[in-house]
Amino acid sequence: MSYVAIIEVYRSSTGRYDVSVHEGWPRYDPRRPAKSFRSLDDAIRYVEEYIRRRAVEVEERLRRIGLD
């Protein structure tokens, strides 16, 4: 089984930094809305925390279904 996560960080036309996350089992879900940040540092911190949190959730799910 594969897990796909695509994280996009881009500067919007308003000058803010938007983060979009597309993920899923086994395909990504492109419907997840973007979060907007005033600074690139804030956007990167959000991405880092998101990856840490999701890594724990994915590991737990894989363990539950016996794929650890």
Instruction: Specify the amino acid at residue 56.
Output: V
Q: Average model confidence (pLDDT) for the chain?
A: 82
pLDDT higher than 80, residue 37: yes
How far is the C-alpha of 18 from the C-alpha of 46, rounded, in Å? 11
Q: Is the sign of the CA dihedral 12, 9, 53, 66 positive or negative?
A: positive
Global pTM? 0.69
Domain ranges of the chain: 4-64
Report pLDDT digits (tens) over 17-35.
999 887 766 555 555 667 8
Q: Which of 23-32, 35-44, 46-55 has the highest mean pLDDT?
A: 35-44
pLDDT band for position 57 (50/70/90)?
A: confident
